Amino acid sequence: MIALGADHAGYEYKEKIKNLLQSLGMEYRDWGTDSTASTDYPDYAHKVAEIVASGKAEFGILVCGTGIGMSIVANKHKGVRAGNVESIEAAKYARLHNNANILAIGARLISWEQAKEIVKIFLQTKFEGGRHQQRVEKIHSLTNL
């Protein structure tokens, strides 16, 4: 399952992502927002990150104006590796090398066509593991501080 969340700036892309996921036969749950009325991005980022961190969703997709705020909030949750992605190549490596489990995108920074391809690549790319596994493990290790 994929958990979706957006603030007012990301609402329209989130709705399009729902249609994309349906066309790909992927299950999702929408955690809001439900309109373009001004709202606070942390509310949605925290909810999606909680769902992913708990294992109730394999991936999360967050959309706001830039993706920056959403990724900052999501990365406060243990077990979450949110990548703020603005290119297809970055989406590929976020999964391949970092095993990112949340994709954050900025609706004000990329076109819908770019966003659509980024979402598809992010969801289709498998984590490479190997030498990257020990690096990912260090992300959540407090002994590395």
Q: What share of the chain in percent tops pLDDT 70?
A: 97
**Count of residues for the chain?**
145
* Buried-exposed string 65-92: b where 16+ CB fall within 10 A, e elsewhere: bbbebbbebbbebeebbbbbbbeeebbb
Residues 6+ apart with CB under 8 A from 29: 1, 2, 3, 4, 51, 57
- Which residue numbers are catalytic? 64, 97
pTM of the predicted protein model? 0.95
143: confidence class by pLDDT, cuts 50, 70, 90: low
Question: Coil, strand, or helix at residue 4?
Answer: strand
Residues 6+ apart with CB under 8 A from 7: 33, 39, 40, 41, 44, 63, 64, 65, 70
145: confidence class by pLDDT, cuts 50, 70, 90: very low
44: confidence class by pLDDT, cuts 50, 70, 90: very high
pLDDT tops 50 at residue 63? yes
139: confidence class by pLDDT, cuts 50, 70, 90: confident
pLDDT for res 138:
86
142: confidence class by pLDDT, cuts 50, 70, 90: low
Domain 2-144 has CATH 3.30.420.40: no
Domain boundaries, the chain: 2-144
pLDDT tops 80 at residue 141? no
